[in-house]
Amino acid sequence: MEPSIAALDAAVADCVACPRLVAWREQVAREKRAAYREWTYWGRPVPGFGPADASLLIVGLAPAAHGANRTGRMFTGDRSGDVLYAALHAVGLASQPTSVHAGDGLTLRGTRITAPVHCAPPANKPTPEERDACRHWLESELALLRPTLRAVVVLGAFGWQAVLPLLGDLPSPRPRFGHGAHVQLGDLHVFGSYHVSQQNTFTGRLTPAMLEEVLGAAGRAAGLM
């Protein structure tokens, strides 16, 4: 079978490589949160979301237990996703500002969203070993996107550390993560943003304006605006 984003996404969704993550995601899917007791949880690894010819890639951390682990789509169904998709819509990269479930009609323009870890981890903290076990999925995704990819936005230091080594030769000293960080690696622009976690957005460490500024810069670098 010829490699493709669709084939990769299907393979990601069937992964059982990390016993701790498999046990946790399935436990959450069985027990559910009271507010979602009528839902049938996805409870599997969550593949990337967005077109196969994206010129902009957004990289998070891992699915949320009652967000993407419930809905089956990256950043869908939780407060972090509310912030991210509202900002993407504000800069013209998402068709709507809300992301409720996988069939809600949301589409992304020239943009794809993925994560270095595809299963929901306990306490939102994957181990270094789990990150490394999931690395080949991200590596494959980047390779498939590379012909069209022009910009990457990395949400948080965990993603920054996972993604940068996969993007080619890095300058010395290695670029440090920070909100608004920008490094150019050949024809690829890489931007850093604080993660859209509730810890950051509720405290004002990351505001909608700050996120929109980074997404706008990345969208321009990707030729999307």
CATH number, domain of 125, equals 3.40.470.10
Task: Inform me whether the pLDDT recorded for 169 exceeds 90.
Answer: no
Compute the distance between CA of residue 126 and CA of residue 123 in angstroms, rounded to an integer: 8
The residue with tokens 């550390």 is: 161
Q: Phi, psi at residue 185, to the nearest 5°?
A: -115, 95
Q: Is the pLDDT reported for residue 2 higher than 80?
A: no
3-state secondary structure 99-136: CCCCCCCCCECCEEEECCCCCCCHHHCCCHHHHHHHHH
Domain containing 188: what range? 5-221
Residue 131: the pLDDT is 95
Residue recorded with tokens 């920054």: 160
Residue found under tokens 């079978």: 1
Q: What is the pLDDT of residues 96-124, one digit of tens each?
A: 999 999 999 999 999 999 999 999 999 99
Q: Please tell me the total count of domains within the chain.
A: 1
